[in-house]
A and B are shown apart, each in its own frame.
Chain A
């Protein structure tokens, strides 16, 4: 059984202007993720990536098609979601530690264990000394790491990440990616990571799914056979550049 299985998922949005035809966003998306697999979804802005994650998380309904998480419907699964906009998805009135704890407050976990687990993840991403800072006192990169820690601390069946680093600069992004892989390796959660950054998708994933422009169709699936753990040097390796070029070819020429 696949950890995540999408079959022919379509999504149309009604437009606010009723004279316009429904907006087709997802066109027959099928994909499978094995347990512990890290999948990147790569596609241009506005193609429907966030919509796809919302549907997998059960926040939004598909127009047709089916979504299964460990064989269950999304509403019954535990889904960890890291949103693109950390300033609107996290709690600025709580500390770094408090934000991670929130993930465990809806479950039967004692205060002591919550603290222990939260501190464990903070340590993993190297933010232990910032644990008592308020969320707004952290830099953008740190904020998103806290959001990632929160998702892991929830101990979800699957993890969804929506361009978590898209607002960070190049070198911070690379640093954050290493930290992310560092936490991910420990738990090996099945992950779908959405990105419009080619390097990011290739660097992180086991498999990249390339989306077309809206309405999003699967244009191709590329296996990334780079060894793990991934290292920054790989970004300039021959293998990396070969995969990168393959992806460029696949995504550039729209049919």
Chain B
């Protein structure tokens, strides 16, 4: 574990060096790619002046609410689809169909139903994350070891008890894998909706605004902030995951 730390920084450092060289030597015009020091300065400014804080708060709020709704709906549906062939066959078409359509293509539909406020941003996010969670939860059940079910069956552990004591815990590692993908996807969708559906706060909104006025330093500073947030929420899920599914891979 201790030796992991230095490796963490190798790739980012290399990108930083390449970026610094190309931008500072003028290989790429600063109009398109400002040098790192300018972006770091801008980043500091955004945080010191607290300008960016409401944007972070709104983006996080939408991401987390969207993700939670997706979990409440998607995980039970996925588990049921994995458990019962009848439910699987009745929903398979819909899930596979919508899974191939980018959620962002459905903007107009969501705007129609949920208006142009936060509701439609959260709804689209939930939709996309929900499909991911359905599929992972379903495979969690389907990939469960048949022998574990059989052996619980020989002990007359059946019905809901079987589901609660064997099938659900067995699906948990897959569900967590799905949650990590879903939370990253949620953040992406929220940022995109903030760019295209009117709002006064949000990282996506700030990225687009900066782009429109060619303030590329601010744009990259905001993009870096978004990436850092994605990294941190992913890490926190992994933390919970290693605590909950401690048996995974053992």
Q: Give chain A's interface residues, CB within 8 Å of chain B.
A: 57, 59, 78-81, 83, 85, 88-93, 102-103, 105-107, 134-137, 150, 154
A103–B151 CA distance with the chains assembled, in angstroms: 10
Instruction: Assess whether A136 is in contact with B157, with CB atoms less than 8 Å apart.
Output: no
Q: Which chain A positions have C-beta within 8 A of B166?
A: 91
Distance in Å: Cβ of A139 to nearest Cβ of chain B: 13
- In the complex, whether B86 has a CB less than 8 A from a CB of chain A is no
Interface string of B143-174 (1 = CB under 8 A from A): 00101101110111110010001100100100
Q: List 20 A-B contacts (CB under 8 A).
A: A59-B150, A59-B154, A79-B154, A81-B151, A83-B147, A88-B148, A89-B147, A90-B151, A93-B169, A93-B245, A93-B246, A102-B157, A102-B165, A105-B157, A105-B161, A105-B165, A106-B156, A106-B157, A106-B161, A136-B247
Instruction: Assess whether A57 is in contact with B154, with CB atoms less than 8 Å apart.
Output: yes
- Chain B interface bracket (under 10, 10 to 19, 20 to 34, 35 or more): 20 to 34
Please judge, given known A-B contacts A85-B147, A91-B169, whether A154 and B155 are in contact too, CB under 8 Å.
Answer: yes
Q: Which of B145, B151, B172 has the most CB of A within 10 A?
A: B151
Distance in Å: Cβ of B40 to nearest Cβ of chain A: 45
- List residues 117-148 of chain B with CB under 8 A from any CB of chain A: 145, 147-148
Instruction: Assess whether A88 is in contact with B154, with CB atoms less than 8 Å apart.
Output: no
Q: Look across to chain A and name the residue whose beta carbon is closest to the beta carbon of B152.
A: A102
* Tally of contacts, chain A with chain B, CB under 8 A: 54
- In the complex, whether B89 has a CB less than 8 A from a CB of chain A is no
Instruction: Assess whether A103 is in contact with B155, with CB atoms less than 8 Å apart.
Output: yes
Please judge, given known A-B contacts A91-B169, A92-B250, A136-B250, whether A83 and B155 are in contact too, CB under 8 Å.
Answer: no
Distance in Å: Cβ of B250 to nearest Cβ of chain A: 4
Instruction: Assess whether A89 is in contact with B148, with CB atoms less than 8 Å apart.
Output: yes
Instruction: Assess whether A88 is in contact with B145, with CB atoms less than 8 Å apart.
Output: yes
Find A91's partner among B150, B161, B165 (CB 8 Å cutoff).
Answer: B165
Instruction: Assess whether A135 is in contact with B161, with CB atoms less than 8 Å apart.
Output: no
Distance in Å: Cβ of A144 to nearest Cβ of chain B: 13
Distance in Å: Cβ of A204 to nearest Cβ of chain B: 22
A91–B165 CA distance with the chains assembled, in angstroms: 9
Find A134's partner among B156, B161, B247 (CB 8 Å cutoff).
Answer: B247
With A89-B148, A91-B166 already in contact, 20 other A-B pairs whose C-beta atoms are closer than 8 Å: A59-B154, A83-B151, A85-B147, A89-B147, A89-B151, A90-B148, A91-B148, A93-B172, A93-B245, A93-B247, A102-B165, A103-B155, A105-B165, A106-B157, A106-B158, A107-B156, A134-B246, A134-B247, A135-B247, A154-B155
A137–B246 CA distance with the chains assembled, in angstroms: 11
